[in-house]
Amino acid sequence: QVQLVESGGGLVQAGGSLRLSCAASRSIFSMGWYRQAPGKQRELVARITSVGSTYYADSVKGRFTISRDNAKNTVYLQMNSLKPEDTAVYYCNADYLKAYWGQGTQVTVSS
């Protein structure tokens, strides 16, 4: 079993920044962030491996940065230049024999 605890969501104006954190209960090779807006499917935002390989969705490239602290089993998502279309519930994800999900954290970007 893997527990994921997220923090850092909130309300911000367009152009602002937020940082999300996700602490895992054990070391996980691949972790990432997904988001789900109302009426839409959950989509991958960014992923990172324990050796630092990253992937970003085209919609967030150049604005979001995923990073991790392996000593703390924690992954971060720095979100800059936020847009109203970034509004969603953001979920931390970890792949360890199966997919594990955090509880979700709301990010709301006002125009």
Tell me whether strands 64-69 and 74-79 are parallel, antiparallel or unpaired.
Answer: antiparallel
Residues 66 and 74: beta-carbon distance below 8 Å: no
pLDDT tens-digit readout, 56-90: 999 999 999 999 999 999 999 999 999 999 999 99
pLDDT tens-digit readout, 28-50: 999 999 999 999 999 999 999 99
Q: How far apart are alpha carbons 32 and 15 in whole angstroms?
A: 23
Q: How far apart are alpha carbons 61 and 10 in whole angstroms?
A: 21
